Amino acid sequence: MTGNADAARAHVSMCTGCHTIPGYQSAFPQVYRVPKLGGQSAKYIEAALHAYKKGERNHPTMKAIAASLTDQQIADIAAYYAVRGAAPAQVATK
């Protein structure tokens, strides 16, 4: 299934609160390091969301969010974040 990054705009607001904060950790139901999604592989994001949806990955919030998404919405969200690379590394100058 091909994702449409523009179509994902209606769905990514629920992701922003956790997945755009560098070094963010959630503390429910235990401490989880929350990955930054920008620049991740679309295939990885799709696989992760499908795993949450099927219950193969265990995080209550992510499972609930993934369960509410269609396969097309998952592909769209994956495409959206895949084209948003992480901020370039700071290069030290002398």
Residue-wise pLDDT for 41-88, tens only, equals 999 999 999 999 999 998 899 999 999 999 999 999 999 999 987 544
Burial letters 65-92, b for 16+ CB under 10 A, else e: bbeebeeebbbbbbbbbbeeeeeeeeee
* % residues pLDDT > 70 (the chain): 88
Is 28 contained in some domain?
yes
Domain hosting 74: range is: 6-82
Please check whether residue 50 lies inside any domain of the structure. Answer: yes
> Has residue 58 been placed in a domain?
yes
pLDDT for residue 63: 95
Note the pLDDT of residue 89.
46
In the structure, what pLDDT confidence band is assigned to residue 32 with cuts at 50, 70 and 90?
A: confident
Tell me, what CATH number does 42's domain have?
A: 1.10.760.10
Cα(first)–Cα(last) distance of the chain, in Å? 48
Residue 91 domain-assigned (yes or no)? no
Distance CA 49, CA 23 (A): 21
What is the tally of structural domains in the chain? 1
pLDDT score recorded for residue 78: 96
